[in-house]
Amino acid sequence: MKTISNTRIVVVGNGMVGYKFCEKLLSRKKDGQDFTITVFGEEPRAAYDRVHLSEFFAGKTADDLSMAGAEWYAENGIRLFLSDPVVDIDRDEKLVRSHHGHIVYYDYLVMATGSGAFVPSIPGVEKDGVFVYRTIEDLELIQAYARKARRGAVLGGGLLGLEAAKALLDLGLEEAHVVEFAPRLMPRQIDDAGSRMLQSQLESLGLQIHLNKSTQEIKGDDRIEGMQFADNSFLDVDMLVISAGIRPRDEVAKIAGLETHPRGGIVVNNQLQTSDPSIFAIGECALAHHMIYGLIAPGYEMADVVATMLTGGEKEFLPYDMSTKLKLIGTDVASFGDPFVEEPACRTIRYENKAKGIYKRINVSTDGKTLLGGILVGEAEQYNMLLQTCKNKTILPPDSEDLILGSRGGEEAGAGVMSLPDDALICSCEAVTKGMICHEVGENGHHTVYALKKCCKAGTGCGGCIPMVKDLIAGVMKEKGVYVRNVVCEHFDYSRQELLDLVKMNGLRTYGAVLDHHGKGDGCEVCKPLVSSILASLWNENILEKDRAVAQDSNDRYLANIQKGGTYSVVPRIPGGEITPEKLIVIGQVAQKYNLYTKITGGQRIDLFGAHLGDLPDIWEELIDAGFESGHAYGKSLRTVKSCVGSTWCRFGVQDSVSFAIEVEDRYKGLRSPHKLKSAVSGCVRECAEAQSKDFGIIATDKGWNLFVCGNGGAKPQHAQLLAGDVDKETCIRLIDRFLMFYIKTADPLTRTATWLNKMEGGMNYLKAVVVDDVLGIAQELERDMQNLIDVYKCEWREVVESPELRKRFTHFVNTPIKDPSITFAEMRDQKRATEWV
Amino acid sequence: METITDTINAVTWHMACNVDDIPEDGGGCAFIGGRQIAIYNFTRRGEWYATDNQCPHRQQMALSRGMIGSQAEEPKVACPFHKKTFSLQTGQCLNDDEYRINTFPVMVKENRVYIGL
């Protein structure tokens, strides 16, 4: 394709594909090529991730979903007009005119207008309370209306419709219905049996599914009150979300006289040119190979085809594989290749497990040699492998059912990801092949997912390929003879567990000694905190004495949490969340005196923010005088043991949870571990202390206590599991001793107990066998080691306050007593806050 | 503040602190002519280094509180905030090409630490 020195390109539409086109064009631009790019978008915000739109209801903000901010366009010299759709194209003059009257000339025009929601012409669709599910604005409207609604329905049982239905439940509606015209859910992706399995999974979550329903009218005066169906049934609802498919946005193309299809879509050839060769169409507005590609990966591929051609390359858009895998409301659903081909054109193998909600189907060629397609519901771990096997026409093993059932005896079915050909597409969003990834790993030394994302963009789109990318990294490393050991860093050729044993055996007590005996080089920010944590877990000596202060991570170094701006926050220990009025007054007085922002934490404590480094010892001196101790909020250590008020006050409580929480917190305070430890004690089964979200949680029963372990909140919440039931206090404590010590000795660095358990071979059964049944015969040793740590516990802040030597390190400057003059605060709700960083 | 002018190398040496004001294998911050300078006593290597105290990533005055160490042979410091690491020799950020800090010569004489500005 001809390129001239300065090519004027106008992009009509700023959705995901329009954005991707700009990105690809910039990255493919060669020296000497110069583009003036102008983008018009109809929506008020720059392109955002519509694929993950539902996450808006799960707390993601418009910013989180954004593909690139306005500054990205500015930095790259792209003129971006938002809330300003193109309304007219003059193909003779080669110019576009926008809603706001901007006129821009083009050499090439790229239509990326996407699609809108298809709204069927049912009487009553215009009523209040009827919505579509397409943009952030739509979601905001739905969110607002849902506050006063009780029963909601979604019209359409496809992928987006089901997500919308889940969103209605999440928004607090009492009933959420799905109404589908076809006899099954997701009719384009799965078959009847798969739909039945999916339906039972969704119903167990509270969705009500209505199939074979043709909606005749939407009833109600001004606002929707119900849906009337052709079979004379009626559904009482007060809001409706329409998700009945998409309609390509081809209005402007029509006005401009471009060829469009009667049922929608701008007709394009294999080069994605419309009937006017200077005008391209990409994404969901384009009709290529007689179809609309309503997925993101082919949209990105189209963007790449046009970007390649406009920068002088050659590329065609070929019929694109429409295989998909998604997690729908917690249920995996996938289909690939030809999912619907029937016997005798193939051999079909089906597996169904109603108890577990799993349905799998594969279609194998009649000669049994290749995979034609398939469907996975409820469990889709094998999706990537199956898809590649299907696409690359890999010869199947003789027992092809092993592909979905796993091999029963003998080795894993299939030869794994390393057996794929080099041109197998691993990341379909960014068109990265196995060969490209292996090259980056093997030749260019990119050994992490992060590095690969940076160098070849693999895994930056939907992220579905990341497990395969990880397998490829491990595979290439193994092929190169690199034994992938989980070593600490370049300075220690040991795993954390090995190093802990060595340090213990040799009785080493400083970082320098450990580095001299077992390491090389000068250490770093990875091994220093790790060794410091091991030393504290083994000997429990003051972490700032000897050479240990400079080997501590940011927070441990000054026994406080570093915050924006360089000030620190202070958290005194308040065991079990119980505090006297006198102590509350002291906290208030200290906060007033040192001008600190105060906030109640999630762990039933009080956090004091904005303390200058130099003030920390004085603050603690006053707190300690009032009977407080360090809360270790800064350490990878026991934080807090939350409690509910229990049987002393609560009319439901069956045990004294506060007393037990205080006893547990006092026992393990100061205990340092591979990661932070949180705990809670609840006084009855109502579980107000949320003990099942903790590393170890205790719940009262009328016979004793249930001990749960390995839960956490955070980014990936996980419920704790029962380790022992109805045990008395002493047994409970003994089991916690063993459990914590076993975790401390065997976990990888910075691994919470939940992740530790997830990686443990044998899982919960093995953990029980070790901790409760003592199959390894180490229980006594674990208990003894724990007791030793408890016996030597001292409040580390008291030691600092009382030691002039340690105290003198708590200054910002070494040559003047003044405080850091660069620290500033802002005001908010009658307190101070950190100044926002730039 | 005590200064020594070194006309040959065109630097002025500013007395920053005593040797034992900076912990072994750690850092400290000196206030010199309105500037915040991070000084590192890299005992393991028998070297002293000085850099800006400000980390350019989020403009935080914190590098003197960071952990020091090495990457291959290169001595480095890690910012306590987000662990950007900087070469103590060149000031180049080692895990993000976009950033660089200033480094300064250090002279230790009669138990005193001087920084050349």
Is residue A455 within 8 A of residue A440, CB to CB? The reply is: yes
Cα–Cα distance for residue pair A478/A481, rounded to 1 Å: 5
Measured over the CA atoms of residue B24, residue B27, residue B28 and residue B33, the dihedral's sign is: positive
Residue A605: closest CA among A646, A576, A562, A634: A576
Verify whether the Cβ–Cβ distance A512 to B39 is below 8 Å.
Answer: no
Is residue A116 within 8 A of residue A247, CB to CB? The reply is: yes
Q: Per residue in B74-108, pLDDT tens?
A: 999 999 999 999 999 999 999 888 899 999 999 99
Question: What one-character DSSP code corresponds to residue A223?
Answer: B
Question: What one-character DSSP code corresponds to residue A130?
Answer: E
Q: Per residue in A767-815, pLDDT tens?
A: 999 999 999 999 999 999 999 999 999 999 999 999 999 999 999 999 9
Say which residues have a Cβ less than 8 Å from residue A123's Cβ, sequence separation at least 6. A216, A217, A218
Per-residue pLDDT, A482:
65
By three-state DSSP, how is residue A232 classified?
Answer: coil
> In chain A, which residues have their Cβ closer than 8 Å to the Cβ of B96?
none
Q: Residue A312 pLDDT > 80, yes or no?
A: yes
Answer whether A232 touches B (CB < 8 Å): no
Answer whether A483 touches B (CB < 8 Å): no
Which whole number is the average pLDDT over B19-48?
96
Cα–Cα distance for residue pair A63/A49, rounded to 1 Å: 10
CA distance B97 to chain A (A): 13
Dihedral angle at the C-alpha atoms of A185, A190, A191, A193, nearest 10 degrees?
-80
Strands A239-242 and A130-132: parallel
CA–CA distance from A202 to each of A185, A217, A506 (Å)?
11, 26, 57
Residue A467 is encoded by which pair of tokens?
A: 């497990």
Verify whether the Cβ–Cβ distance A512 to B72 is below 8 Å.
Answer: no
User: Helices A449-456 and A466-479 meet at what angle, rounded to 10?
Assistant: 100
Supply the ipTM of this predicted assembly. 0.95
Per-residue pLDDT, B1:
59
> In chain B, which residues have their Cβ closer than 8 Å to the Cβ of A815?
16-17, 21, 30-32
Name the amino acid, one letter, at A682. S
CA–CA distance from A314 to each of A1, A11, A27, A49, A270 (Å)?
8, 20, 16, 29, 11
Verify whether the Cβ–Cβ distance A562 to B81 is below 8 Å.
Answer: yes
Residue A528: which of B28, B67, B71 has the nearest Cβ? B67
CA distance B43 to chain A (A): 10
Q: Residue A292 pLDDT > 80, yes or no?
A: yes
Verify whether the Cβ–Cβ distance A557 to B80 is below 8 Å.
Answer: yes
Cα–Cα distance for residue pair B99/A757, rounded to 1 Å: 39
Q: Binning pLDDT at 50, 70 and 90, where does residue A483 land?
A: low
Residue A837: which of B22, B58, B71 has the nearest Cβ? B58
Verify whether the Cβ–Cβ distance A822 to B36 is below 8 Å.
Answer: yes
Residue A817: closest C-alpha in chain B: B31
**A242 half-sphere exposure, CB direction, 13 A CA radius:** 24
Verify whether the Cβ–Cβ distance A814 to B70 is below 8 Å.
Answer: no
Residue A734: closest CA among A775, A678, A783, A692: A783
CA distance A532 to chain B (A): 12
Give the CA diameter of chain B.
40
Is residue A397 within 8 A of residue A405, CB to CB? The reply is: no
Residue A748 is encoded by which pair of tokens?
A: 């990888």
Per-residue pLDDT, A586:
97
Cα–Cα distance for residue pair B80/A485, rounded to 1 Å: 28
Among A179-188, A354-363, A701-710, the range with the most confident prediction by mean pLDDT is A701-710
> What are phi and psi for residue A666, nearest 5 degrees?
-65, -30
> In chain B, which residues have their Cβ closer than 8 Å to the Cβ of A529?
67
Q: Binning pLDDT at 50, 70 and 90, where does residue B13 land?
A: very high
Verify whether the Cβ–Cβ distance A522 to B69 is below 8 Å.
Answer: yes
Which whole number is the average pLDDT over A348-361?
88
Residue A547: which of B22, B25, B72 has the nearest Cβ? B25
Q: Per residue in A377-395, pLDDT tens?
A: 998 888 888 888 888 888 8
Cα–Cα distance for residue pair A336/A377, rounded to 1 Å: 12
Name the amino acid, one letter, at A286. A
> In chain B, which residues have their Cβ closer than 8 Å to the Cβ of A823?
61
Interface size, chain A vs chain B, as Cβ–Cβ contacts under 8 Å: 104
CA–CA distance from A525 to each of A61, A218, A489, B51, B86 (Å)?
33, 64, 10, 18, 12
Verify whether the Cβ–Cβ distance B26 to A549 is below 8 Å.
Answer: yes
Count CB atoms within 10 A of the CB of residue A762: 10
Which whole number is the average pLDDT over A439-468?
81
Per-residue pLDDT, A538:
96
Count CB atoms within 10 A of the CB of residue A90: 12
DSSP lists the bridge partners of residue A99 as none
CA distance A504 to chain B (A): 24
Residue A761 is encoded by which pair of tokens?
A: 């071979």
> In chain B, which residues have their Cβ closer than 8 Å to the Cβ of A512?
25, 44
> In chain A, which residues have their Cβ closer than 8 Å to the Cβ of B81?
554, 562
For the question of whether the overall pTM of this predicted structure is more than 0.95, the answer is: no
E strands, A547-637, are 561-562, 568-570, 597-600, 606-611
Say which residues have a Cβ less than 8 Å from residue A140's Cβ, sequence separation at least 6. none
Residue A808: closest C-alpha in chain B: B21
Answer whether B72 touches A (CB < 8 Å): yes
Cα–Cα distance for residue pair A229/A218, rounded to 1 Å: 9
Cα–Cα distance for residue pair A794/A544, rounded to 1 Å: 13
Is residue A606 within 8 A of residue A568, CB to CB? The reply is: no
Q: Binning pLDDT at 50, 70 and 90, where does residue A412 land?
A: very low
Is residue A24 within 8 A of residue A122, CB to CB? The reply is: no
Is residue A553 within 8 A of residue B67, CB to CB? The reply is: yes
Verify whether the Cβ–Cβ distance A512 to B36 is below 8 Å.
Answer: no
Is residue A309 within 8 A of residue A270, CB to CB? The reply is: no
Q: Per residue in A318-345, pLDDT tens?
A: 988 888 887 777 788 999 999 998 888 8
Answer whether B47 touches A (CB < 8 Å): no
Verify whether the Cβ–Cβ distance A818 to B31 is below 8 Å.
Answer: yes
Which whole number is the average pLDDT over A75-84?
94
Answer whether A612 touches B (CB < 8 Å): no
Q: Residue A485 pLDDT > 70, yes or no?
A: no
Question: What one-character DSSP code corresponds to residue A433?
Answer: E
Answer whether A824 touches B (CB < 8 Å): no
Residue A834 is encoded by which pair of tokens?
A: 């950190």
Residue A605: closest CA among A567, A636, A578: A578
Taking each continuous run of H as one helix and of E as one strand, the counts in chain B are: 0, 13
Answer whether A75 touches B (CB < 8 Å): no
Question: What one-character DSSP code corresponds to residue A46?
Answer: -
Cα–Cα distance for residue pair A552/A545, rounded to 1 Å: 11
> In chain A, which residues have their Cβ closer than 8 Å to the Cβ of B65?
554, 557-558, 562
> In chain B, which residues have their Cβ closer than 8 Å to the Cβ of A519?
none
Measured over the CA atoms of residue A770, residue A776, residue A777 and residue A781, the dihedral's sign is: negative
Name the amino acid, one letter, at B86. F
| Cis upstream peptide for A398 (omega within 30°) | no
**B95 half-sphere exposure, CB direction, 13 A CA radius:** 13
Per-residue pLDDT, A413:
36
Answer whether B55 touches A (CB < 8 Å): no
**A317 half-sphere exposure, CB direction, 13 A CA radius:** 31
Verify whether the Cβ–Cβ distance A822 to B16 is below 8 Å.
Answer: no
User: Helices A527-539 and A511-518 meet at what angle, rounded to 10?
Assistant: 110
Is residue A331 within 8 A of residue A363, CB to CB? The reply is: no
Q: Binning pLDDT at 50, 70 and 90, where does residue A484 land?
A: low
Q: Binning pLDDT at 50, 70 and 90, where does residue A415 land?
A: very low
Per-residue pLDDT, A380:
85
